[in-house]
Amino acid sequence: MKLKLPTFLRRLCGVLGLLAIPVFGSAQSAKPTNVVFFLVDDLGWMDISPNNPKTFYETPNLQRFAESGMRFTAGYAACPVCSPTRSSIMTGQYPARTRNTDYFGAPNGFKDGVIPDPYDPDRDGKFGKHGERPVRPAPYAERLAADHTTLAEALKSNGYTAFFAGKWHLGPEGSWPEDHGFDVNKGGVDRGGPYGGKKYFSPYGNPRLADGPEGEHLPDRLATETAKFITDHKEGPFLAYLSFYSVHTPLIGRPDLVEKYEKKRAEMDVSQEMSGEEFPRPVRIQQAHAVYAAMVEAMDLAVGKVLDAVDAAGIRDNTLVIFFSDNGGLATSEGWPTSNLPLRAGKGWLYEGGIREPLLVRWPGVTQPGSVCDTPVISTDFFPTILDVCGLPALPQQHKDGASFAALLRDPKA
């Protein structure tokens, strides 16, 4: 007997509905992906044990993180200084496109079209009569423009709660985290370092971070704030963006950790530690700086506190975790406290030491524990990758200089 069309359609829809139950039921029961993003300031590629087992610095929490996820050997910053790289993460665009081409607050010489000539024997190290060469300055805007859809705004528009803690350095008041999509801002202002109060210790003198008990340590405080946010928002979805002021100058460490590394240094031969040169600057060739080491370990302890909070909240299996640095290590500037060798130079230089960054990613159930990826990725790629991992639509008109590397998280050879 030939079925009438309406009856046939009703039966077909019924069959399709039965087939769809497990598919849609699974999708509805799946928890959305949370995102934890660690960004460290001025940390070099060779400063963590996953990249350098012989490092002077002890980073056991990053070691266990790497062993539980994927380590990238060729993760790159979009710039060898901080603000442009931070802008590239927030926007998915290169610094030349956003006009954030130098750190905010850079010397006027860079903006006025002159640079110091390192080969001038009369150069006094400052912008003045000696050692200036005319250059055509790059476009330079000292704030993150309001017309971008930032990573935080993209996630927030899809139901995420966005939390920020630590260093922002993407513009003056009016262009702080809360002005670019973050619901919570703990310590993010226009400063490039912890320059208020007692700097790395409370009181902080930070208009977006209430002072803690006398002597409280900033990395631990930021981790505590982040861990509390994760605990309070474990039902998700959320973005928790912990942007350390560490290990930026001023070089100040926890006294107990400094003492620990001074003892460690005393057992080493450090007679040649500063024998390198990247003209016109000396280059440290040996990691042996006790204060810097103390700062690195304190940062690692803070990372561990946040990772433990993720586990304690029972959300490890649906939380993407990323660890990155904004530029190369301080081997060639600001006291030269670390060594990036065998990578050349460091912060402020476009050689490998200035732009290759430590990058660790954990996507539970996807990244193979202890896996390694040698494919180059760059800071503009985080925006589309995070959207991809979270199952959210891409925004190609915004993150136009980034490409998702989610496929590499599934297969590092892809």
Q: What are the tens digits of pLDDT across the range 98-126?
A: 999 999 887 765 555 555 555 454 544 44
The domain that holds 294 is classified in CATH as: 3.40.720.10
Q: Is residue 11 part of a domain?
A: no
Residue 274: CB atoms within 10 A of its CB come to 15
Q: Is residue 295 part of a domain?
A: yes
Q: Is residue 365 part of a domain?
A: yes
- Domain holding 329, by residue range, is 31-100+142-410
Q: Are residues 136 and 261 in the same domain?
A: no
Q: Is residue 5 part of a domain?
A: no
Q: Is residue 3 part of a domain?
A: no
Confidence (pLDDT) at 140 = 83
Q: Say how far apart CA 262 and CA 4 lie, in whole Å.
A: 88
Q: Are residues 218 and 359 in the same domain?
A: yes
Confidence (pLDDT) at 117 = 53
Q: Are residues 126 and 214 in the same domain?
A: no
Q: Are residues 159 and 258 in the same domain?
A: yes
Q: Is residue 399 part of a domain?
A: yes
Which pLDDT tens digits describe the chain residue by residue (414 residues)?
A: 444 444 444 443 443 343 333 332 223 338 899 999 999 999 999 999 999 999 999 999 999 999 999 999 999 999 999 999 999 999 999 999 999 999 988 776 555 555 555 545 454 444 444 445 555 667 788 899 999 999 999 999 999 999 999 999 999 999 999 999 999 999 999 999 999 899 999 999 999 999 999 999 999 999 999 999 999 999 999 999 999 999 999 999 999 999 999 999 999 998 888 777 777 777 888 999 999 999 999 999 999 999 999 999 999 999 999 999 999 999 877 778 999 999 999 999 999 999 999 999 999 999 999 999 999 999 999 999 999 999 999 999 999 999 999 999 999 999
Q: What residues contact 379, with CB distance under 8 A and at least 6 apart?
A: 76, 77, 78, 85, 88, 89, 324, 357
Single residue among 86, 115, 141 that ends a domain in this structure = 141
- 6-15, long-range: CB within 8 Å, 24+ apart, which pairs? none
Confidence (pLDDT) at 134 = 54
Q: Say how far apart CA 229 and CA 234 lie, in whole Å.
A: 8
Q: Are residues 290 and 395 in the same domain?
A: yes
| Token reading at 336 | 């030269």
Q: Are residues 135 and 147 in the same domain?
A: no
Q: Are residues 131 and 153 in the same domain?
A: no
Q: Are residues 94 and 210 in the same domain?
A: yes
- Taking alpha carbons only, the member of 188, 185, 105, 97 closest to residue 148 is 97
70-76 and 356-362: which strand pairing? antiparallel
Q: Are residues 90 and 216 in the same domain?
A: yes
| Token reading at 97 | 């496109």
Q: Are residues 130 and 263 in the same domain?
A: no
Residue the block writes with tokens 């056991």: 60
Q: Are residues 189 and 134 in the same domain?
A: no
Q: Is residue 19 part of a domain?
A: no
Q: Is residue 13 part of a domain?
A: no
As a whole number of angstroms, the longest Cα–Cα distance in the chain is: 102
Q: Are residues 174 and 319 in the same domain?
A: yes
Count the domains in the chain.
2
Confidence (pLDDT) at 240 = 99
The torsion defined by the Cα of 110, 45, 225 and 103, in degrees rounded to 10, comes to 0
Handedness of CA 226, 192, 100, 341 (dihedral sign): negative
